[in-house]
Amino acid sequence: MSRTGDVARAQLKRIVALGYPNVANMAAQDFIALAQPLITALDQVEIADDILLVPTRELISPESLIERTAIGRNAGFSTMPPRDIASFMPQDFMPPEGPFYIVINPHTGTRYTNREPDVARKLIDSDGFQPLTLEEGLAMATQHPDWLVRKNGFNLLGSRSSDGRVPSIWMSQGSPRLGSMWPTSKHTWIGNAYCSRRRGVSLLA
* Orientation angle between helical segments 3-17 and 134-143, nearest 10 degrees: 90
Q: What is the pLDDT of residues 87-133, one digit of tens each?
A: 999 988 888 988 999 999 999 999 999 999 999 999 999 999 999 99
Distances, alpha carbon 203 to alpha carbons 2, 87, 95, 198, in Å: 17, 27, 11, 9
Rounded CA separation 146/177 (Å): 14
Rounded CA separation 173/179 (Å): 14
- Asked if residue 140 lies in contact with residue 134, where contact means CB atoms within 8 angstroms, the answer is no
Quick one: which of 160, 141, 161, 117 has its CA closest to 54?
Answer: 141
Rounded CA separation 198/179 (Å): 24
**What does the pLDDT read at residue 81?**
94
Residue 179 CB: number of other CB atoms within 10 A?
17
- Asked if residue 100 lies in contact with residue 59, where contact means CB atoms within 8 angstroms, the answer is yes
**What does the pLDDT read at residue 150?**
85
**Beta strands of 40-163 (E only): which ranges?**
51-55, 77-78, 89-90, 100-104, 130-131, 153-155, 159-160
Q: What is the mean pLDDT of each run of 10 residues along the chain (205 residues)?
A: 91 96 96 96 86 95 91 93 94 88 96 95 97 97 92 93 96 94 92 95 70
**What does the pLDDT read at residue 48?**
77
- Asked if residue 87 lies in contact with residue 168, where contact means CB atoms within 8 angstroms, the answer is no
